[in-house]
Amino acid sequence: MSEIVEQTQLPPSGPEVNVNQEEKTVSPWVDVWRRFRKNKAALFGAVLVSFFILLAILADLIAPYGFKETALENKHLPPSSDHWFGTDEFGRDIFSRVVYGARISLWVGFISVAGSVIVGSSLGIIAGYYGRWVDTIISRLFDILLAFPSILLAIAVVAMLGPSLQNALIAIAIINVPTFGRLVRSKVLTVKEEEYITAAKAIGMKDSRILLHHVLPNSLAPIIVQGTLAIATAIIEAAALGFLGMGAQPPTPEWGKMLADSKDFIMQAPWTVFFPGIAIMLTVLGFNLMGDGLRDALDPRMRN
């Protein structure tokens, strides 16, 4: 009987213990990456996004022609070895303009979403953490912005500021602020009730330190996911404003503006519309797939 007791009290050993210890020491972000790379659709989206980012960075090396180079004698040439995507009504190389357009569209997407994240998250954290009248004022501001259809609000902002790519960027940033604000506010309302926040207040930690070192880091997951999806939305909104003539102005090779300039030649030269449209579709698809994958990877309920 004593031998049986001694056997049951022996400490566990062997490879199973090492596996358990390794799992315990794995960083949460490493765990997120492991689950993200198992999602084939998300990896495909990441590849698409990476491709267009590289295209934008290396545009000067990849594009065979300048995006402003015109040759009226070569207008509406079909795709060929000299002009892979054909030419437009001014004889400009569409492939070169699509490549440079990647730089503009991604720049608008990243910068506008970054502005939305900074402003919206700051307001959301303040509203959720302090509550009371501060929360009421900020929440009503969000409600007012959300009461307007996003594209109409963007058009109104650009109409007041004047049509340009920079003003379109500002408009897109403004219409996405309440989305991030309400998302972060709802997360903060949960986080601020945790015991470690109560402990931080009990030892006299300043609110600014609590917000930066405890509340914000624990609210990053939904911000990352929404930010990825918002970039896709921002690219579509920038293309819509460009199509309406309220975004990028000629000769800027913005994809939406390229569609607007070519809509009258869709039957005569369909390639002038096809390739910019495909570029928009693939870029938005990549960000959406990657955002969905990040959402699943960062969701604690998806962990085994």
What pLDDT score was predicted for residue 4? 44
Residue 180 or 8, more confident: 180
Is residue 23 included in any domain, yes or no? no
What pLDDT score was predicted for residue 189? 84
Average pLDDT over residues 116-144: 89
CB 170 within 8 A of CB 161: yes
Three-class SS of 204-240: CCCHHHHHHHHHCHHHHHHHHHHHHHHHHHHHHHHHH
Question: Looking at residue 218, which CATH number applies to its domain?
Answer: 1.10.3720.10
What pLDDT score was predicted for residue 5? 43
Is residue 165 included in any domain, yes or no? yes
| pTM of the full structure | 0.82
What pLDDT score was predicted for residue 300? 59
CB 45 within 8 A of CB 293: yes
What is the extent of the structural domain holding 295? 51-302
CB 125 within 8 A of CB 215: yes
CB 65 within 8 A of CB 78: no
Please name the amino acid found at residue 52. Answer: F
Lowest mean pLDDT among 64-73, 125-134, 193-202: 193-202
What pLDDT score was predicted for residue 8? 44
Mean pLDDT over the full length of the chain:
83
Length of the chain counted residue by residue: 304
Is residue 167 included in any domain, yes or no? yes
User: Residue 257: is its pLDDT beyond 80?
Assistant: yes
CB 186 within 8 A of CB 128: yes
Average pLDDT over residues 169-191: 89
123 pLDDT band, cuts 50/70/90, is very high
Average pLDDT over residues 56-81: 89
pLDDT digits (tens, 9 = 90+) for 161-172: 888 888 999 999
Average pLDDT over residues 134-147: 90
Residue 192 or 45, more confident: 45
Residue 129 or 111, more confident: 111
What pLDDT score was predicted for residue 165? 87
Residue 8 or 154, more confident: 154
What pLDDT score was predicted for residue 2? 45
Is residue 118 included in any domain, yes or no? yes
What pLDDT score was predicted for residue 262? 87
Is residue 3 included in any domain, yes or no? no
Lowest mean pLDDT among 50-54, 59-63, 263-267: 263-267
Average pLDDT over residues 172-196: 86
CB 94 within 8 A of CB 83: yes
User: Residue 131: is its pLDDT beyond 60?
Assistant: yes
25 pLDDT band, cuts 50/70/90, is low
Burial class (CB in 10 A: 0-12, 13-18, 19+), 51: middle
What pLDDT score was predicted for residue 212? 79
- Total domains present in the chain: 1
What pLDDT score was predicted for residue 302? 55
191 pLDDT band, cuts 50/70/90, is confident
What pLDDT score was predicted for residue 26? 59
Is residue 281 included in any domain, yes or no? yes
Is residue 37 included in any domain, yes or no? no
User: Residue 21: is its pLDDT beyond 70?
Assistant: no
pLDDT digits (tens, 9 = 90+) for 210-233: 777 777 777 788 888 888 889 999
Is residue 21 included in any domain, yes or no? no
